[in-house]
Every structure is written in structure tokens, then in C-alpha cells.
Chain A
């Protein structure tokens, strides 16, 4: 059940283009599941017009946190909001990660690229709560693109980082880090969120090593709750391909269901 609320931002943290907002929304927080998102109006006027989909980053009792990167006009406007400002939030939306499998004692590898780390903090805590052994792999272009890495460590979660420019952690892509990690860790599950090429590469590794993987896709959205049919991706289920809505059928899909090419 999604809720529409206008509420104040109670805390804001910023690191360059990256921002974390915290707000009190007890009903929304109670309903939220890892991998779900909210739709936020960037301003009050008709420009920009549409809400922006933003991942739920964390939950702490009755509070929710969102983490986002400025990617255009809407998120730039959103980033100018200060603590104490009221904003208009709709959520939680989407299906989130499927956590129905037994997790106790299982090893889960979480792979986040750039702002794709957003839903994985909430997920990592939930997995750890359910007894899974969690390893988070967090990649960015530079050390500045890993702003929330301390949060994982403060929460006692095991974390390894990579940077494309080698300025911090493993030098190279986070999928390269995953490749070194798989033979050592033998993960039972992979959870992935990041840029499309990274997710495609991760899906390839998951398939090669036969690890069940769930991937959280991103898209421009018109509504966020299944009404506009604007955020579709090519998804294969039971052998049949179709355009499926990221907002409603996803944003999380089993890696093997995502059709990466051949339709453009």
C-alpha cells in the first residue's frame, strides 16, 4: 500500500553530487521493503513536471532514508532542498528484492555501482538480520563516488571498494572485483544495482558461475505505480518476451529474465 505524504526533511547529508535525505514517515517506513523506491516531486511548479524515482536507502524505526545522485534538472532541484524543507513523497513503490529463499548461513554478494549502491544498504541490513553472510562490493569512477562506504562499515558489514581510476580500493570495474571474489566466497546469491553495462556484465558472471542473481533496474518513470506504461524493459518469462513495467513488475528482476540486447 503506497502512501502520499508531504513531510519535512529532517536530515540532509551531501557529498558533491550525492545526497542523502532522511524523513519521518512511520506508515511508509513500516511498509517499505529493500529494493522499493519512492516518487518525489522535485519542485512545486510544473517545471519540472514529473516526480523522480529514488531508491529507498535505509530505514530506521519510523524514518526512511533516500540516497541519490544529481542526474538532471529534477534531481538538481531536489538536491537544493534543505533540512526542514517539506517535500512531496509517494511510496513505497515497486516489488523490491525477492527474499523468500532461506538466507540463514548463506553468503550474499551485493554489487553496487555509483548511485546504484542506494538500495543495497537497506538490503544488506535486512539480509544480515536474517542470518546471511553479507559482502558488499561498492564501485565508483573515483574515490569521490563512494560517499556512503563508511555507513556499511559502521553497521558492521563487510565491504570492498573499487574505483575505475584506482584512487581507492581495487583498481578497475566492480565486476572485476566480483570476478576475484567469486572463487573465494562462493556466494549463494548476487544482488546488483548500477549502470546498465555493469549490470549486464554482472548478469554474465552470474550465469557463468550459476549464481542466482537479482538485478534492480533504473528508468525514467511517468507515474511509478503502473499507470503510464512508460518505464518498460524487455523481459523474458516462461520463454516469452514482453515489455514489462520496471515500476510495477520490478524494479528488481531475476538476472536471467532481462533481455539485454537485440530489441533496440
Chain B
């Protein structure tokens, strides 16, 4: 039995529902020794500001119970170096490229989009309105519906490409934020970004991260991510891309059943650099085992 792995996001058709999550997949080229980049539904490259960015002082990583706490601070090379050094190689390798778009302020988000709009070989933008590690106390636009609406609307008006808003889980009501993004014209939503968290060293009585706070990812967050993906997918009509602690095909299937049209694989890429490709195969095996002809038939099939 052949399984049809393609999924239709409305604004874009994916060869399969597995994307590599921004911030966990470098610029994509780092993974070329380990997997065929063209075998994934897409890769969302590390968040880009307009120029190079310095990032946070170390320590930037702390491992927690089945989780990873990071405070990288979006260190990166900026759009010009991405266009010159990275994008041509990704295109040569047949990757479906999404760019995670960052900005210090609205103006910078729009400048990044305008620059990228001038390049060929990008499928979509993921608007990063939810990084917890770049402003004090984890502040980001995705914490409030009005900020979310204003930024998504401005970005959507500027962009010639589909735009997915990446939402933060650090909110009281994810539905309110999801609806604001949809109302502002987002073509889709991706969630969840990392949970604002911290770790303390009892010996030194100091925070373990240089940035004090960081973002928690990995299997530890999966149940909360699933709940939020379910809530958001139930409340909006645009497609939802689910993520948070996906380590296996079965984990991915849980998100699809909860309502996600596609998934992003994040922290798993560090542990197993071939994880995203493995998860595609495991989803396929799951469908075959259950006699499911099209992976899209799983989406939103949860029975309450």
C-alpha cells in the first residue's frame, strides 16, 4: 500500500507534513551530511534579522528533565550573507526553504521581508513574533493580540509570499492570539515556540543561563504544546503547523490528529541529525500499518 504523504496548506503544497523547525536546523546546510534536505516537507532556516546579530553571552544551553533550555539570542548572519552564501546551496540541494523572519521593530521585519522578496527560491515566511530570548523578561509581540495583529498585518501587506505567524505559548489564552493573527491576514499559524523558563544552580545560587531566562523545548513540553495546537486549530480556519517536543513519527501523528496540518521537528534534530527524515518514514509506516491512504486524512480526527 502506498501512502500519500502530501499535504495542502492552501497557500502551499508540501511533499510531506514534516518541516525542520527554525533555530534547531541551523541554515540547513549543516544537516546535508546526515539527510537529504529535499526529502523533507520543508526547512525553516534560523531566524534572520537584517544584519548580523551578536547573540547572548554563554552559558546558552542547559539540559533539563527531557528538555532543553536555550538562550541563544538569535545570533546570526543576516539576510545578505544568507542570500550570498546559504540560499544557493539550499536550492541546489532541492530544499523547500522557509525563512524565519525577525526584527527589532516593525521597520526591521519589513526590511527583511522586502529583501527576501527580491530573492528566488523561498517558499514562505515564518514571522518570528515569539522568541523569548531577545528582550527583557521574554517580551515579544506574540504575547498580546493587538501587537500580534499590528505586526502580522504590516508584514502581510508588505510580503509577496505566504506568511505564517509563529506563536508563543507564554500566554493566558492562545485562542485570542491565534484569532488576532488570522484576522490580520496570516496564511497560517505555527506553534508553539519555546516556554519561558529558567534553571538555578544551587551551589552558586545563580541562574544557569547567561541570559537568566531561556526557552524550554523538547519532549518535556509536548503535552502542553499539543493542548495549545488543539485549541488554536479548533478556533481558526487557516492551517496550523504544530510543534513542541516531537521526537518520533508517533509524536508527529498526535499533533496531526489534534488538528495540525503539518508539523515542525525541533530539538530532536540535535539528538539525531537525521530525525526529520526518520520521522517522515515513521509517519508513513504508521499510516500503512493503520490502512490510512493519505496522511491528510489524519488531520483533526481527534474524537472528544
Contact = CB atoms under 8 A, between A and B. Distances in A.
A223 B273 contact: yes
B271 A243 contact: no
Contacts of A227: 24-26, 30-31, 269-270, 273
A46 B61 contact: no
Given A4-B273, A41-B271, A263-B57, A50 B72 contact: no
B33 A228 contact: no
A51 B271 contact: yes
B218 interface: yes
Interface stretch (B63-71, B142-150, B187-195): B63-71
| Interface class of chain A by DSSP | loop
A50 B24 CA distance: 13
Interface in B146-164: none
B224 to A, nearest CB: 16
Nearest to B56: A243
B66 A46 contact: yes
Contact of B63 (A48, A229, A263): A48
Nearest to B52: A242
A222 to B, nearest CB: 5
B68 A243 contact: no
Most buried by B among A226, A228, A242: A228
| Interface class of chain B by DSSP | loop
Interface in A185-233: 219-223, 225-233
Contacts of B33: 1-2, 225
A47 interface: yes
Interface residues of A, number: 30
B270 A226 contact: no
A220 B210 CA distance: 13
Interface string A250-264: 000000000000011
A219 B25 CA distance: 20
Contacts of B70: 222, 228, 230
Interface in A48-77: 48-51, 74
Given A49-B68, A50-B68, A243-B75, A228 B61 contact: yes
Interface in B42-86: 46, 54-55, 57-63, 65-68, 70, 72, 75
A204 B61 CA distance: 29
Nearest to B23: A228
Nearest to A90: B273
B31 A49 contact: no
A159 B70 CA distance: 41
Contact of B273 (A47, A50, A74, A225): A225
8 contacts: A46-B218, A222-B70, A222-B270, A223-B269, A228-B70, A228-B270, A229-B72, A232-B75
Given A227-B31, A228-B72, A231-B58, 5 more contacts: A47-B65, A49-B63, A90-B273, A228-B23, A230-B61
